[in-house]
Homo-oligomer: A and B are copies of this chain.
């Protein structure tokens, strides 16, 4: 049988036709007025996306590259930082900070939970010299949302602390306006809600963060914010840019800005709700106590291996992600960020139902689908 593969992994996510078309074009040279014009256009649209007039930089790297840039440009050796470590990507903040010699307070949170505000305040009370709070807005490994507002307040209450946010699976999902929220450094990547292939990362930094640039003594070359900023303001890059991704980003930002951030955020909230409600309707349990709008992480039922379930779903045409580390074989993760609509979620849920049925789990076919349809009717 024809096997169509439909991607529901939390990165990469499906590409819109406009993006595919842009990617399929003949390459242009980057040291040309033509590229500069496009680059500056994209830069302006990124500023609109983040509702800022400040510098927004692009790196030819995956999201982790921009995370590294957030460390090496804005901190010094032995700086004390607090990592909100609630999953695989929280661990990445910790490991990155340690690699560059920062003094890490590793606030470990059970996977699937968000931070406890009292616990956090207690840590901060005893560590007034914290120079940075590092967090994921959406922790992809557990599909968990961390509320940034209280973190911004805490950060602001300290003498010299930056709120550093990994927005890799939140920018393009929520309305993420760093100045409004109080984010000092915000990074994201291309292969999530920006609906592009991987290979491009984005970094915003606040005025407060900018003051750190001169003082930071950590080694940086490729990820030098100062070097890139100087160039990118003029529509060029310090090193070879990811030309076709930037051209394609122009297209995906057109789509995003045309839909409008409030509507886009509402769509993601509804698709998330529909997916969460649908899996609950099937008797399944969500991993997260604070589910994100980017993806839904759900436990496979007792006695059913989640990776087996994924394999069967894949044979039926739907590719979802599994769990990492101790969650391997226990959860599946269904993405709904970027180029997704209600019909997509019906696809995913209907195939989840069929796969569970085939594995002997008692499931009423169509029951989860009906939930998505109901929320579709409310929402459209």
Contacts and interface: CB of A to CB of B under 8 A. Distances in A.
Given A358-B377, A365-B370, A380-B316, A343 B350 contact: yes
A2 B377 contact: no
A373 B346 contact: no
A255 to B, nearest CB: 7
Nearest to A266: B1
Contact of A259 (B2, B255, B357, B377): B2
A184 to B, nearest CB: 31
B353 A3 contact: no
A327 interface: no
A129 interface: no
Contacts of A353: 373
B255 A339 contact: no
A195 B230 CA distance: 51
A45 interface: no
Given A267-B2, A343-B4, A373 B358 contact: no
A199 interface: no
Nearest to A379: B1
A52 B358 CA distance: 40
B341 A4 contact: yes
Contacts of A317: 341-343
A316 B339 contact: no
A259 B367 CA distance: 32
Copies in the complex: 2
Contacts of A2: 16, 255, 259, 267, 339-341
A376 B354 CA distance: 8
Nearest to A26: B26
Contacts of A372: 350
Contact size class for A?
35 or more
A343 B351 contact: yes
Nearest to A367: B366
Contacts of A346: 346-347, 350, 369
A128 interface: no
A259 B353 CA distance: 26
Contacts of A354: 373, 376-377
List 10 A-B pairs, minimum CB-CB distance, nearest first: A366-B370, A366-B366, A365-B370, A365-B373, A346-B350, A366-B369, A317-B343, A369-B369, A343-B347, A354-B373
28 contacts: A1-B259, A1-B263, A1-B267, A1-B380, A2-B255, A2-B267, A2-B339, A3-B341, A4-B339, A24-B24, A316-B376, A317-B341, A318-B343, A343-B350, A343-B351, A346-B346, A346-B347, A347-B347, A350-B372, A353-B373, A357-B377, A358-B377, A365-B373, A365-B374, A366-B366, A366-B370, A369-B369, A369-B370
Given A350-B369, A353-B373, 13 more contacts: A1-B267, A2-B339, A3-B341, A315-B380, A316-B376, A316-B380, A343-B347, A346-B346, A346-B347, A346-B350, A350-B372, A350-B373, A369-B369
